[in-house]
Amino acid sequence: MRKFKTESKRLLDLMINSIYTNEEIFLRELISNASDAVDKLYFKSLTESDVKLSKDELRILVSFDKDARTITVSDSGIGMTEEELDLNLGTIAHSGSVDFKNESGDQMSDEIDIIGQFGVGFYSGFIVSDKVRVVSRAYGADNAYAWESDGVKGYTIEGAERAEQGTDVILTLREDTEENKYDSYLSEYKLKTLIRRYSNYIRYPILMEVNKSRELPKPDDAGDDYQPEFESYTELETINSMTPIWKRAKSEVTQEEYNEFYKSDFHDFTDPVKTLSVHAEGTLTYDALLFIPGRAPFDFYSKDYKKGLALYSSNVLIVEKCEELLPDYFNFVRGIVDSQDLSLNISRETLQHNSQLRAIARKIEKKVKSELLDMRDNNREEYEKFFENFGRTLKYGIYADYGMHKDMLADLLLFYSAKQQKMVTLDEYLESTTPDQDAIFYAAGDSLERLSKMPITTTVLNKGFDVLLCTQDVDEFCLSSLMEYGEKPFKNVAGEDLGLESDEEKTQAEEVTRENEDLFTTMKEALGEKVTKVAVSMRLTDAPAALTSAGPISLEMEKIFAQMPDGEEMKSERVLEVNAKHPLFETLQAAQKAGDSEKVKRYTDLLYNQALLVEGMPIEDPVAFALAVSELMI
Ligand code: ADP
Ligand code: MG
C-alpha cells in the first residue's frame, strides 16, 4: 500500500468526517475531469497528425449498478500511466486545490465550507463512497492500471485490463445512515437530474443507458379485444444539452428559444419582458444571458427570495446563485454569467473579493440600467408593467444604504400624476412645471381615489400644480431619501408649509389668528395632546378643516410605522387646520363669543374626527363620534 501525502490525508479526513452542505457535487467534479481528459486527447489529435480520433471517442459515459452499489464515470480521454495515477491521485499538488492549501490552518469551519460548496476535484468522490477504483489506460500505452483506495490511509496501484485508452472512475457508495441516503444516487432519474443541473453545458455528450418502453407490433391474428403490449428496453441517450445558449450569437437564437430556456431553467411560466445577451472580450472575457421576468416570483417580496445569477466557468456550474453579481435593487434579474477565467474551485470567500467578478457585476449593472431606460423611452406600456412588478424594489434601492444609489435609480421611477392622470417619470413631472413652481408636490396614502379627492390635494391642483399620488408604503421613504429632484425639493401636500400662499393671504391669516386667539386656545384645549397646534388655513376651499403634519414624519409614515412588527413609536406632529372662510368657522366664533366653550369643544372634536376619516386614519372612539353626529341631526 502506498501512503497518501500529508496534505491529501488531511483533506480526505475533512471530506469524510465533516458535514457536507452539498455532497452531490462529486458527480460534477468527476464529469469535468472526464471532460478535461477528452479535451486533452482532442487537442493532441489537432496538433499531432498521427493521433486519430473517431467521433464516438469524444464522449463521457455515466452508469450505475444498484446491486453492486456503484456509480461509474467513463471517458475515452487521454488516460493516465502508472506514474500519473500515483502522482495525480496520490497527492494534492495540482492546481485545483491550491486555494485550499493556502487557507489550511486553524480555520476548520471555513475549510469545510469550501469543500461543501465547491468540491475539491477528484477527492470529492470520497464524500459519498468508501471505495474508489480508477481503471485507466494512457493514450499510446499497452497496459492499463487500476488505482484503488478506501480514502483513509493510502491506495494501491496494480495492473488491470482496459480495451482502449481512457479512464473509468468507479465509486462504491457508502452504506446509508439515518441522515444520508447514499442509495438515492443509484437512480436513473437522480443521476440525470444531477447531470443536467451541473454539467448540462459540458461540450461532449454525456451518455447514459436509460430505460424506455415501447409498444409491441399488433399481431396479425389479434382479436377485437386486443390490448396493446409493451416491452421495456434500454438505449444510450445524451443527457446534457452541450452548446450553451448564452455562448451563441444573439442573431442565431430566436426569441422563442430564449423564452423556452428562461422558462425551463428559471421555473417560470411567463415569458421574460427583456432578454439581454452579452458577449464581452478583451481584458474581461465573459458571456452573460440575462432576463427581466414578466412577473414577480410568488416569493419575491419575502425573505425566502434569493437574488443572484448562475455562475459558470468553462461550461461548468460553480454557483447556482452568485449574489455578488447583482446589486440588491436589481435583484429581480435572472440569468447566467460564464467566464472561463474563473477557477472551478473558487470558494465563497474568494468570490467576494474577486476583482474580476466585481468588474463583471459593474458591467451587468450598467447593462441592466440602460435596457430599462430604453424600455422606459421606447415601450412605455411594457415599462409600466415592469414597474408594477418591480418598482417597489427600485424604491427600496433608493431608500437603502443611506441613499447611496439614488442617482443610479431616480430616473427609473414612475409615479401617478393627478393632473395628467397617468404614470410619469420625475423628469416628465418637471417638464410640466412653470418657472414659479419651486417644489415637487406629492400626496401619500392608500388609494389613488381618496388621495385625489383630499382637500389638501385639490387645493394644490386648483392652483395649477401637479401632484404625484403615492400609494405604496415605501414611497414617502423613497422620496425623503431623494430629498430633491432637478433641484426642486419634494413636498407632501399634507405638510404644514407649502409656500403657496400669496403675501395677501399670509397677512390675512395673521389677522385671523390674532383676532381668534381665544377660539384657537379653546380648540387646542379640547384636543389636548392629540395635536400640536390648531391653526388657520388659507388653502382649504370646501372642507371646513384638515389634518396636516409639521416636521419630518407625515401622517402616512406614522401609519406605516404603526404597522411594522417591532416598529418604534413614531408620531407625526399633527396640526388641525381650520378653514376661516367656511360658514362653520362663524358658528365656532359665535359659540366662543357667547362663552359656550362646551359647544366649541364638542364641535372641535367632531372636526378632528372628520379630518381623521378623510386622511384614512382610525378614529379613537367611533361610538362617541357616531353619537355626537346623531345628536346634531335631531
Ligand atoms: P483538477 O481537475 O483541478 O486538476 P482533480 O482533483 O479533479 O483536480 O484531478 C486531479 C488530476 O487527476 C487531474 O489534474 C488529472 O491530471 C487527473 N485526472 C483526474 N481524473 C482524470 C481522468 N478521468 N482522466 C485523466 N486524468 C484524470
Ligand atoms: Mg477536476
For residues 489 and 499, give the distance between their C-alpha atoms in angstroms, rounded to a whole number.
Answer: 12
Give the pLDDT band (50/70/90) at residue 349.
Answer: low
Please return the burial class of 334, using the count of CB atoms within 10 Å of its CB with bins 0-12, 13-18 and 19+. buried
Per-residue pLDDT at 6 exceeds 80: no
- Checking if the pLDDT of 104 tops 80, the result is no
Average pLDDT of the chain, as a whole number: 87
Closest ligand 1 atom to 120 CA: 6
Q: Among the atoms of ligand 1, which is closest to the Cα of residue 78? A: 25
**Ligand 1: centre distance to CA 122 (Å):** 6
Supply the pLDDT for residue 112.
43
Q: Is the Cβ atom of 98 under 6 angstroms away from ligand 1?
A: no
| pLDDT score of 491 | 93
What pLDDT is stored for residue 113 in this prediction?
43
Q: Is the pLDDT of residue 19 over 90?
A: no
Which pLDDT band holds residue 103 (cuts at 50, 70, 90)? very low
pLDDT at 84: 94
Nearest-CA residue for ligand 1 atom 13 is 88
pLDDT at residue 550, rounded to an integer? 86
**Section 186-203 average pLDDT:** 92
Closest-lying ligand 1 atom to the alpha carbon of residue 123:
6
Strand-strand pairing, 70-75 and 467-470:
unpaired
Asked if the model's pLDDT at residue 617 lies above 90, the reply is no
| Ligand 1 within 6 A of CB of 167 | yes
**Mean pLDDT over residues 590-602, rounded?**
93
Local confidence band at 329 (pLDDT 50, 70, 90 cut-offs): very high
Residue in 88, 164, 318 to alter for ligand 1 test, most ligand atoms within 8 A of Cβ: 88
Q: State the amino acid at position 216 in one-letter form.
A: L
Report the nearest-CA residue for atom 23 of ligand 1: 34
pLDDT digits (tens, 9 = 90+) for 129-185: 999 999 999 999 999 999 999 988 889 999 999 999 999 999 999 999 998 899 999
Ligand 1 close to Cβ of residue 80 (< 6 A)? yes
* Alpha carbon nearest to ligand 1 atom 3, residue: 96
Q: Is the pTM of this model over 0.85?
A: no
Residues 71, 68: Cα–Cα separation, whole Å: 9
Cα of 357 vs centre of ligand 1, distance in Å, is 26
What does the pLDDT average to over 508-534? 93
Is the CB–ligand 1 distance for residue 168 below 6 Å?
Answer: no
pLDDT at residue 21 above 70? Answer: no
- Supply the residue whose CA is at minimum distance from atom 10 of ligand 1: 88
CB of 29 within 6 A of ligand 1: the answer is: yes
Cα 465–Cα 467–Cα 468 angle in degrees, nearest 5: 150
Percent of the chain whose predicted confidence (pLDDT) is above 70: 91
Query: Is the CB of residue 95 below 6 angstroms from any atom belonging to ligand 1?
Result: yes
313 Cβ inside 6 Å of ligand 1: no
What average pLDDT does range 305-326 have in this prediction?
88
Q: Are residues 486 and 426 in contact, defined by beta-carbon separation less than 8 angstroms?
A: yes
Of the listed ligands, the closest to the CA of 92 is 1
pLDDT at residue 344 in the model: 54
pLDDT grade, residue 567 (50/70/90)?
low
Q: Is 34 in the pocket of ligand 1 (CB under 6 A)?
A: yes
Confidence at residue 117, expressed as pLDDT on a 0 to 100 scale: 41
Instruction: Identify the burial level of 248 via C-beta atoms within 10 angstroms of its C-beta, where 0-12 means exposed, 13-18 middle and 19 or more buried.
Output: middle
Nearest CA to ligand 1 atom 17: 88
Is residue 37 within 8 A of residue 75, CB to CB? The reply is yes
Q: Give the per-residue pLDDT at 209.
A: 95
Which is more confidently placed, 406 or 567?
A: 406
Residue pair 23/128 in contact (Cβ under 8 Å)? The answer is yes
| pLDDT tens, position by position, 50-75 | 888 887 789 999 999 999 999 999 99
| C-beta 77 within 6 A of ligand 1 | yes
Q: 214-231: per-residue pLDDT in tens?
A: 999 988 888 888 888 999
Q: What is the pLDDT of residues 335-348, one digit of tens each?
A: 999 988 776 555 55
Highest mean pLDDT among 47-56, 291-300, 494-503: 291-300
According to the model, what pLDDT value does residue 83 have? 95
Among the bound ligands, the one closest to the CA of 89 = 1
Complete DSSP assignment for 178-223: SS--GGGGSSHHHHHHHHHHHHTT-SS-EEEEEEEEEEPPPPTT--
Question: For the chain, what's the residue count?
Answer: 634
Mean pLDDT calculated for residue range 376-396: 96
Query: What interhelical angle do 188-199 and 25-47 show, nearest 10?
Result: 60
Residue nearest to atom 21 of ligand 1 (CA): 33
Note the pLDDT of residue 352.
62
Q: Is the pLDDT of residue 105 over 50?
A: no
